[in-house]
Chain A
Amino acid sequence: MDQKHVINGKEQYKEESIFTFPKGIPGFEHLRDFKLQEHNELFSIFSAVEEDGISFITINPFDFVHDYEFELSNDALADIDVTVREQIAVRCIVTWHSNRDKITVNLIAPIIFNTENLKGKQIILQNSEYTTRHALWPDVELEEQGGES
């Protein structure tokens, strides 16, 4: 029972998998292997296998930004050998802050995972309105930030 189902049950991956990033990620081009690990229903932890100190808090953007959308170019799909949509999982990197209102998420550079061959790539959306620092929690304070979404 270690399968997680998110986004209409379409996204499937093990709770902890190691993905290869053929080109690393921007700013950490020397790293290749990253572990994606579910933390709870909202957050997952994305960490470099080779270097202990390099971890990121990530979210599934569709959990937070309900109208989030982007187009994956064929080149990006080819880079991680995606052939069908069901192989794709998406995470976005969160920049943490002790003040929760200042926590942001990078929506312009989602990380795309091929859950079948365990390859990944952080892509940068071209001609996109999204930014690297989108507020994670919208200004209107939600009463119950419970597990249901």
Chain B
Amino acid sequence: MLVLSRKKGESIVIQNNIVLTVLSVEGDNVKIGISAPKDIDIYRKEIFDAIQDNNQSAVMDLKTIQTAILNMDGNRIE
């Protein structure tokens, strides 16, 4: 991992077009401004990880889905 020290108001440029700016530092809390091209998605890592995990645990194969939904239908219709 590349480690850089920055002061408040200073920036880092990645690949010519992504600019990270340290906006404020208060105790443990750092506010970072990010300007990047529109097609770059920016997420908090823990949330992105949670979505990846959730998708991976929700995946099923078609046959299992059909059985699952059929069972549900059966329960619903009585």
Contacts and interface: CB of A to CB of B under 8 A. Distances in A.
B64 to A, nearest CB: 8
B56 A56 contact: no
A132 B54 contact: yes
B2 interface: no
A54 to B, nearest CB: 5
B55 interface: yes
B65 to A, nearest CB: 6
Given A93-B55, A124-B48, 15 more contacts: A23-B41, A26-B51, A27-B54, A27-B55, A53-B61, A55-B65, A78-B38, A93-B54, A106-B54, A106-B55, A124-B47, A126-B43, A133-B54, A145-B76, A146-B76
A36 interface: no
Interface string B37-78: 011010100011011111111111110010011001101100
Contacts of A78: 38
A45 B58 contact: no
Given A40-B69, A57-B68, A132 B51 contact: yes
Interface stretch (A1-9, A12-20, A94-102): A94-102
B54 A109 contact: yes
B51 A96 contact: no
> B51, B56, B57, B62 — which one has the most chain A CB atoms within 10 A of its CB?
B51
Contacts of B53: 27, 132
Contacts of B76: 145-146
Interface range for A: 35 or more
Contacts of A94: 58
Interface of B: 38-39, 41, 43, 47-48, 50-62, 65, 68-69, 72-73, 75-76
Interface of A: 23, 25-28, 39-40, 43, 45, 47, 52-57, 74-75, 78-79, 93-96, 100, 106, 108-109, 122, 124, 126, 132-133, 145-146
Given A57-B60, A96-B60, A145-B76, A26 B38 contact: no
A23 B59 CA distance: 18
